[in-house]
Structure 1
Amino acid sequence: MDPSGGAGIQADIQAVTALGCHPLPVLSCLTVQDTRNVYNATATDPDIVRQQLECLAGDTPIHAIKTGALGNADVVDVLVDFLANHPDIPLISDPVIKAAGGGDLADETLIARMKARLFRHAEMITPNSIELALLGEDEDPTQAARNLLDAGCQSVLATGGHGEGEDIINTLYHQTEEPSRFYIERVGGEYHGTGCTLAASIAAGRASGLSAGAAIDQAQNYVLRAIRHALRVGKGQPVPDRGIPWQS
C-alpha cells in the first residue's frame, strides 16, 4: 500500500475499476512512502494473505490476478500454493523491486523466491529495464528476457518507459515466437505508479477476455491518457489520473 495514493494497490484498484472490472484487493505489503521515494516497507502476515485468498476464491470467480510489491518470500509461497490449486487463472506479475526514487521494495531472498517459484506460474511478467537487467542477470534486454524464459517464464513484457526516443516501445518476449513490439507515444518525464497501472490494466484486459496482445494495447492507451492528465499531488513525481473516463 502506498499512502501517497500514487502507486501500489490504490493504482491497481483505480485502473481495474476504470477498465470495467471489479477488483478484489489483497494487501501484501505496507510502505512508508510519498511521491518522491520509499522509506520503509513491511509484509502483511502471510497467513492473513492465505486466508483472504481462500475466502475470496470460495465466494467469487477470479478471472485474473495481478501482483506487485509482495513484501517477503513467505508471501510468495502462499501465492504459489494458491496458484497451484487455480492453474487456469492468468497471472500478470509486476516484479516490483525498487521505487522510482531508489528505495528498496524487495530483498535478495524475495527476488530469488520470485524467480524460483512465482514467475513460472505467471502468464506474463512486466519488468522495467532496471528490473529486467537484475532479474535476467544481463544488461542486454533480449538476453536478459531469454534467460528468464529459459528459467520458466511464459512471457516477459520488457517495458520501455525508462528509455529514450519519440515512442515508448514495450517488447513482449515469448517462449516460441518472435518478440512482439508495442509502440505508444512518449510524453516525457517520470510519473509515480505507471508500472503498477500498466500491469493492472493488462490483468483487467485479460479478465475481460482480451488476448494478451489486445490487453497490452488497451493498457498502454489507458496509461497514456492517465499520464496526459497527471496530478501534481506532492513534491515528487506527478501521479497519473487513473480516474479519467476511459472511453470519453
Structure 2
Amino acid sequence: MRGRVLTIAGSDSGGGAGIQADLKAITALGGFGMSAITALTAQNTCGVEGVHIVPPAFVRQQIDVVQKDLGIDCIKTGMLATAEIVNVVADAVSEFYTLPLILDPVIVSTSGVTLLSEDAVEAIMSRLLVRATVVTPNIPEAERMTGMKIRDVEGMRTAAACLLEKGAQAVLLKGGHLPGGDLTDLLVTSRGEVLWSDARIETRHTHGTGCTLASAIATGIAQELSLEEAVTRARKYLRRAIANAPEYGSCSGPINHAVTIDPEWSAKSGN
C-alpha cells in the first residue's frame, strides 16, 4: 500500500459515488484513502432524496487531524456543497501548498443534475482552480466554468485553454456527454495536449464515474506517477470497472470498483 490520498467530498449512501467511490478506487489501486466528509446524502441509483451539510469548521477539523497524524501525499476534492466549505478547503489547501490537488468540480452530475450553488462555483473558480494540479470537469461543468458551449473536440480544446488561462495547471476535460460511438478525453497543459479515444461502453451503469476517475488519478499522483501516466492508468481502471459493473439498482447503477481484486480473495473461490 503506497500513496496517502485525502478525499474531501460528500457521502453517497448508495455506495456508488462520493466518498465511498473515492475510497474504493484508492484502495483498488494500492493507495491509502482518508476522508473529510462535506455532506451526507440519502441517495440510491435513481437520485438524491436528502442532503445534510456538514458544518464547515468540522470539515476543516477532519482535514487537520488527518494531516497532523497520518500525512497526505495528494488531495482530491469532490462535492463541496457550499461556498463556506469551498473557502474552508481553500484555506487548508493554501496551508498545505506543496501538496498536489486533484479538483473534481462536482457542479453537474453525470445525469445532468446541478449540485452546486452559483456562489460555491464562483468560490471554486477564484480560490481552488488556481491551486489545482489538474481539474477534471465533464462537458456541462466545463461549460458552466467557462460560459462556452462545447459541441465537439475542438470546443473542448477551447474550453480547456480557457481554464488554463484562469489558473489551472492542467485540465482533463471528459467528453462523455458528447454524442457518438467514440468517447474522447482531453488533457491539456502548458506543454501541449494528450487525447484518449475509446469506443463508448453502452451501459446504464455509470454512477460515480467522475468521482472514481479523479480518485484514481489522485492515487497515481500520490504514487509518484506523472500526470499522463496517472490519467492513462485511471482511465484503464475505470473502463474495466464499467465493463464489469455488478448491475445493481434500477437506474444509473454503480461500477465494479473491486475489478482489480485477485480472485483468490473473492467469495467465489470458496476460501
If the TM-score is normalised by the length of the shorter chain, which range does it land in?
Answer: over 0.9
Which runs of 5 or more structure 1 residues have no equivalent in the other structure? none
Q: Does 1:220 align with 2:235?
A: yes
Q: 1:95 aligns with which of 101, 105, 126?
A: 105
Partner AA of 2:257 in structure 1: R
Q: TM-score of the superposition, structure 2-length normalised?
A: 0.86
Q: Residue 55 of structure 1: CA displacement?
A: 0.8
Comparing 28-37 with 75-84, greater Cα deviation is found at: 28-37
Q: Percent identity?
A: 36
Find the counterpart in structure 1 of residue 177 from structure 2. Answer: 162
Equivalent pair of 2:42/2:51 in contact (CA under 8 Å): yes
In 1, the alpha carbon distance for the partners of 2:144 and 2:245 equals 29
Equivalent pair of 2:156/2:186 in contact (CA under 8 Å): no
In 2, the alpha carbon distance for the partners of 1:137 and 1:40 equals 29
In 2, the alpha carbon distance for the partners of 1:127 and 1:182 equals 15
Specify the SS of the correspondent of 2:257: coil
Q: Residue 247 of structure 1: CA displacement?
A: 7.5
Find the counterpart in structure 1 of residue 218 from structure 2. Answer: 203
Partner AA of 2:209 in structure 1: T
Comparing 145-154 with 217-226, greater Cα deviation is found at: 145-154
Partner AA of 2:195 in structure 1: R
Greater fraction strand: 2
Q: 1:22 aligns with which of 19, 23, 32?
A: 32
Partner AA of 2:20 in structure 1: Q
Partner AA of 1:187 in structure 2: I
Q: Does 1:44 align with 2:20?
A: no
Q: 2:77 aligns with which of 53, 67, 78?
A: 67
Comparing 105-114 with 137-146, greater Cα deviation is found at: 137-146
Find the counterpart in structure 1 of residue 22 from structure 2. Answer: 12
Moved over 4 A (4+): none
Q: 1:177 aligns with which of 187, 191, 205?
A: 191
In 2, the alpha carbon distance for the partners of 1:216 and 1:172 equals 9
Q: Once the two structures are superposed, what CA deviation does each residue of 1:55-80 show, in whole Å capped at 9, x if it has no partner? A: 11111221111111011111111111
Q: How does 1:100-111 map to 2 (within 5 A)?
A: 100-111=110-121
Q: Does 1:2 align with 2:12?
A: yes
Which runs of 5 or more structure 2 residues have no equivalent in the other structure? 1-10, 150-154, 264-271
Find the counterpart in structure 2 of residue 86 from structure 1. Answer: 96
Q: Does 1:240 align with 2:255?
A: yes
Q: Does 1:115 align with 2:128?
A: no
| Aligned positions, number | 247
In 2, the alpha carbon distance for the partners of 1:4 and 1:247 equals 24
Rg: which structure is higher?
2
- Give the RMSD, CA atoms, in angstroms: 1.6
In 1, the alpha carbon distance for the partners of 2:262 and 2:193 equals 29
Q: TM-score of the superposition, structure 1-length normalised?
A: 0.94
Specify the SS of the correspondent of 1:182: strand
